[in-house]
Amino acid sequence: MESLFNPTDRESLSRRLATLEPDARRQWGKMDPAQMLLHCAIGLEVVTGDLPMKQVFLGKLVTPFIRGLVLGEKPFRRNVPTDPTFVVSDRRDFEEERTRLATQIDRFVQRGPGTAGKKPHVFFGRLSGDEWGRLMYKHLDHHLRQFGV
């Protein structure tokens, strides 16, 4: 399964990210490309420790029932609800947000699976480093597909 910790998978995502245009049309959802880039960067900031968060109570209740779906092979469904913490609705600078996301991807990878496995996911709670690598790959893939790249 793909992972941000796999250099080949990461390079593939980087190439796709480089082809994303500021005016790309979304195929679902509400965010524009710059907002999506920040949304993804914020997700990585949680696992790098730049934005520490604890697991929400609802996640503790629901996670056992959906964990396999989320971490499995299938891509994320369209229009899955987003935690309000990660909603970006203000206008953002596209190139600034693309750089921020690329920086967060690098920080995530440099810290490695051992460090990632020590940070709780805001909804799913405790994940191994390998699970974090797969989840972050799937999240980025989901949003790049959202804009056709």
Unique residue bearing structure tokens 């990461």: 10
In a domain, 77, yes or no: yes
Lowest pLDDT segment from 54-63, 71-80, 103-112, 114-123: 54-63
pLDDT in tens, 76-108: 989 888 888 899 999 999 999 999 999 999 999
Number of CB atoms found within 10 A of residue 136's CB: 26
Rounded distance between C-alpha atoms, residue 98 and residue 75, angstroms: 22
- Place 68 in a pLDDT band, splitting at 50, 70 and 90: confident
Measure the CA–CA gap between 133 and 94, rounded to whole angstroms. Answer: 25
Mean pLDDT to the nearest integer, 135-145 = 97
Q: What is the 3 state secondary structure string of 19-61?
A: HCCCCCCCCCCCCCHHHHHHHHHHHHHHHHCCCCCCCCHHHHH
Res 63 pLDDT > 80? no
What local confidence, expressed as pLDDT, does residue 134 receive?
96
Q: Is residue 2 part of a domain?
A: no
Q: What does the alpha-carbon distance between residue 137 and residue 124 come to, in Å, rounded to a whole number?
A: 16
Asked if residue 132 has pLDDT above 80, the reply is: yes
The owner of tokens 């980087």 is: 14
Task: Report pLDDT digits (tens) over 18-47.
Answer: 999 999 999 999 999 999 999 999 999 999
Is 35 inside a domain boundary? yes
Written as one string, the DSSP assignment of 83-110 is -GGG---S---HHHHHHHHHHHHHHHHH
Average pLDDT, the chain: 92
- What Cα–Cα distance (Å) separates residue 26 from each residue in 12, 32, 81, 93? 20, 7, 16, 17
Look up the pTM and report it.
Answer: 0.92
pLDDT of residue 35: 98
Specify if 1 maps to a domain: no
Range of the domain at 75: 7-20+28-146
pLDDT at 59 over 80: no
pLDDT at 123: 86
pLDDT at res. 139: 96
Report yes or no on 65 lying in a domain.
yes
Answer whether residue 131 is part of any domain: yes
| Structural domains in the chain (count) | 1
